[in-house]
């Protein structure tokens, strides 16, 4: 039953992978982590998605290279865009976002994180949760 349930996801992932590889050279594909996320996010369950997002958010503070921070931000946006309906631990993710946002010094990365919040808030399923977190935590206004 698990295989039957995931068979359409696997088929979509393989199709997306073929499409991306047709458009890009393999070298270019592997140099873009967000392209890899587009293909392989279907293999992550909701707990793994949440853990990946929270680990990435936690690591933004320690990534000193601005390009690495921007790649991490793009990766987050890609995952949330492609798998936004599968996230179950949005309160925990919002808690980490609210705690980390003031620490992130790169303006572009801060915008990426705010865009991630916007993606969550645009889903009716998460709107109340996101708003309550934003009201309860100090959020930098930039």
Residue 126 CA to residue 46 CA, distance in Å, equals 15
Q: Which two tokens stand for residue 37?
A: 């996320």
The confidence score (pLDDT) of residue 118 equals 92
pLDDT band at 139 (very low <50, low <70, confident <90, very high): low
pTM summary value? 0.72
User: Rounded mean pLDDT of 44-58?
Assistant: 85
- pLDDT surpasses 70 at 24: no
Q: Which two tokens stand for residue 26?
A: 């393999």
Residue 135 CA to residue 3 CA, distance in Å, equals 42
The confidence score (pLDDT) of residue 60 equals 80
């Amino acid at each position: 039953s698990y295989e039957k349930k995931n068979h359409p996801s696997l088929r979509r992932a393989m199709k997306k992978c073929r499409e991306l590889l047709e458009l890009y050279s393999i070298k270019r594909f592997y140099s873009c982590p967000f392209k890899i996320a587009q293909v392989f996010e279907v293999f992550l369950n909701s707990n793994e998605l949440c853990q990946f997002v929270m680990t990435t958010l936690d690591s933004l503070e320690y990534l000193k290279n601005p390009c690495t921070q921007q790649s991490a931000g793009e990766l987050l946006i890609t995952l949330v865009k492609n798998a936004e309906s599968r996230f179950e631990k949005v309160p925990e993710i919002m808690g980490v976002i609210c705690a980390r946002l003031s620490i992130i010094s790169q303006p572009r990365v801060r915008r990426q994180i705010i865009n991630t919040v916007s993606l969550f808030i645009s889903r009716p399923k998460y709107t109340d949760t996101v708003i309550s977190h934003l009201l309860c935590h100090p959020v930098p206004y930039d």
